[in-house]
Amino acid sequence: MANLSAVLGVGGGIAAYKSAELARALMQRGFAVTTVMTEAAQEFVRPLTFAALTGRKVITRMFAGDGPDDVLASSVEHIGVAKENGILVVAPATADLLARFAHGLANDFLTTLYLAFEGPVLLAPAMNTAMWNHAATQANVEILRRRGHHILEPDSGPLACGTTGPGRMPDPERIADYALSILTRRRDLDGETVLVTAGPTREPLDPVRFISNRSSGKMGYAMAEAAALRGARVQLVSGPVHLAAPEGVEVIPVQTAEQMRRAVLDRLDESTIIVKAAAVADYHVTSVPKQKVKKTALRLSLELDPTVDILAEIGQRKKNQLLIGFAAETENVVAEARRKLQAKNCDMVVANNVSLDGTGFESDDNEVILALSTGELITPPRDTKRALADRILDEALKLRLALHQRS
Ligand code: PMT
């Protein structure tokens, strides 16, 4: 049984307020959480917030008390905290903390604890885009990655400093799911090659305009991250999204349905499991003008042709691969899932009702029904996309075993 106890290291960045949510998300997953705050972190959030949430004292400095006993007790406390806890999660990991970790400085409790800590380390950097892109930060990240630490790259989006770009701390639920996966890690996908598609496609209307859809890529990226953490080699064919590449995953960026099709077919034979979470456009413009279409007062009509159904094509060509399709539905979810399962020769279809609030497109959570080729229907409870990704993989592996035993 994994030791579900975490040290939550909080660095001094504006994202420190999100770490309070992270403390709660870790506890919801069964972790006992000990918080360590840097001096700068305490400028953003008060230790009391974490003490109240975790029910434990928060460590704020190296030498806690004034008396000789206090000094003695606290000077070895980092060793005790390092030994007692299963994982060190640092969020936000500021540029300063990354630099101090990379170079082995031990000038406060958190950096000293880091050196004494022998378990897995999960770092969630968050900072201004220019600071993240700086050669010094990237070099430090590389050192930490080579040291075997898990780095959840920052998301892109509007930042507190007013700029837009990579630098946002990932969602606390995702960090907590990731920490849980590290500690309860199964290597049941060792030796597998998993091909995942994610995000939308963009079908051009002219050189400056396109048709697309609301897919953020979160579901597909969660599948890729979960598979990689379970030992698979993962290739992720991704439409245009604002998500960082999951750790250890090869990302193949594409724009159109046809580019996605080519990227997938090129990799089909080497794959053992294929997960089609992308929201591929069903139509493209028959003939794309070379120049920008001028605005006039007249009504404009578009002539569209269907795109090739990539999933159906894989279904035709597959040999021994396990094929998992997705279905985005607004009605008759089960019937549609079963129809697509059969029509596209899938082994499993993951159907989501995209008309429900807080699930489907763009959200961090999802609610899915798994329709299996054995006729079975599985309805996991609503959960984070990351947690559901692990459940989908669990069910896929069980299904493959059942199919092998039947044949
Ligand atoms: O990206 P997120 O914001 O996290 O949202 C997740 C999601 C809702 C996009 C995802 O969970 C999902 O449902 N993905 C499939 C969306 C979709 O295109 O559904 P569909 O029912 O139209 O297509 C069925 C299947 O055929 C899908 O596996 C799709 O990838 C595939 N397809 C569709 C058309 C096409 N031309 N080629 C395909 O391969």
* Separation of alpha carbons 60 and 40, rounded Å: 10
Taking the centre of ligand 1 as the mean of its atom positions, its distance from the CA of residue 196, in whole angstroms, is: 12
Q: What is the pLDDT of residues 33-87, one digit of tens each?
A: 999 999 999 999 999 999 999 999 999 988 766 555 444 445 568 888 999 999 9
Residues labelled catalytic: 161
Contact 211, 283 (CB under 8 A): yes
Taking the centre of ligand 1 as the mean of its atom positions, its distance from the CA of residue 349, in whole angstroms, is: 10
Contact 346, 366 (CB under 8 A): no
β-bridge partners, 250: 235
Q: Which of 214, 242, 268, 276 has most ligand 1 atoms within 8 Å of its beta carbon, as the pocket-test mutant?
A: 276
CA-closest residue to ligand 1 atom 21: 327
Q: What is the CATH number of domain 193-406?
A: 3.40.50.10300
Shortest CA distance to 310 belongs to which of 354, 266, 347, 348? 266
Taking the centre of ligand 1 as the mean of its atom positions, its distance from the CA of residue 311, in whole angstroms, is: 9
Ligand 1 binding site (Cβ under 6 Å of any ligand atom): 199, 215-219, 257, 276-280, 282, 307, 309-311, 325-328, 340, 352, 354, 360-362
Matching fold, domains 5-184 and 193-406: yes
Q: Which of 254, 311, 333, 367 has most ligand 1 atoms within 8 Å of its beta carbon, as the pocket-test mutant?
A: 311
Q: What is the pLDDT of residues 315-334, one digit of tens each?
A: 999 999 999 999 999 999 99
CA of 344, closest atom in ligand 1: 26
Q: Please report, rounded to a whole number, the percentage of residues in the chain having pLDDT higher than 70.
A: 96
The CA-based angle 166-277-307, given to 5 degrees, is 105
Q: Which residue has the tokens 């599985």?
A: 378
Domain map (residue ranges) of the chain: 5-184, 193-406
CA atoms within 13 Å, Cβ hemisphere of 104: 1
- Region of residue 162 (phi > 0: left; psi between -120 and 50: alpha; otherwise: beta): left
Taking the centre of ligand 1 as the mean of its atom positions, its distance from the CA of residue 302, in whole angstroms, is: 23
Q: What is the pTM of this model?
A: 0.85
Q: Please give, one letter per residue, the 3-state secondary structure of the chain.
A: CCCCEEEEEECCCCCHHHHHHHHHHHHHCCCEEEEEECCCHHHHCCHHHHHHHHCCCCECCCCCCCCHHHHHHHHCHHHHHHHHCCEEEEEEECHHHHHHHHCCCCCCHHHHHHHHCCCCEEEEECCCHHHHHCHHHHHHHHHHHHCCCEECCCEEEECCCCCEEEEECCCHHHHHHHHHHHHCCCCCCCCCEEEEEECECCEEEECCEEECCCCCCHHHHHHHHHHHHCCCEEEEEECCCCCCCCCCEEEEECCCHHHHHHHHHHHCCCCCEEEECCECCCEEECCCCCCCCCCCCCCCCCCEEECCCHHHHHHHHCCCCEEEEEEEECCCHHHHHHHHHHHCCCCEEEEEECCCCCCCCCCCEECEEEEECCCCEECCCCEEHHHHHHHHHHHHHHHHHHHHHHC
pLDDT average, residue stretch 184-194:
92
Give me 240's structure tokens. Answer: 């245009």
* Separation of alpha carbons 271 and 192, rounded Å: 7
Q: What is the pLDDT of residues 107-156, one digit of tens each?
A: 999 999 999 999 999 999 999 999 999 999 999 999 999 999 999 999 88
Q: What is the CATH number of domain 5-184?
A: 3.40.50.1950
Q: What is the pLDDT of residues 360-379, one digit of tens each?
A: 999 999 999 999 999 999 99
CA-closest residue to ligand 1 atom 35: 309
